[in-house]
Amino acid sequence: MPIWKEAGNWRFQFQLLGKRYSRQGFTTKASARAEMEKLRGQLVAAEEQPTQTVMAFSEVANDYLDYANRRFVPKVYDKKVFVFRVS
């Protein structure tokens, strides 16, 4: 049971996406349940929001090609340019 009474106060604990969340100090079981559902809803809503990307794919590809030019022999670099080159 994720909600229980301990030392005169109610507390809750649950796991979401491998991380454990818990709060304590509620005077009633109903308030602990309401707070647990509120927290779970906030965490799920935060996961559903898309992550903002800072760089476009073309920037990442060009940065990688700059690195590959220094790292690999010309024959391998030419193959990578053929695959990654973005106009």
Does the pLDDT of residue 86 top 60, yes or no? no
What is the DSSP-derived secondary structure letter of residue 54? S
Average pLDDT of span 35-55:
87
Do residues 57 and 87 both lie within one domain?
Answer: yes
Do residues 42 and 68 both lie within one domain?
Answer: no
Average pLDDT of span 57-79:
91
Q: Rounded to two decimals, what is the model's pTM? A: 0.56
Do residues 8 and 43 both lie within one domain?
Answer: yes
Do residues 41 and 59 both lie within one domain?
Answer: no
| Residues 6+ positions from 27 with CB-CB distance below 8 Å | 9, 10
Domain, as residue range, for 43: 3-48
Element (H, E) at 27: none
Do residues 44 and 13 both lie within one domain?
Answer: yes
CA–CA separation, 13 and 24 (whole Å): 9
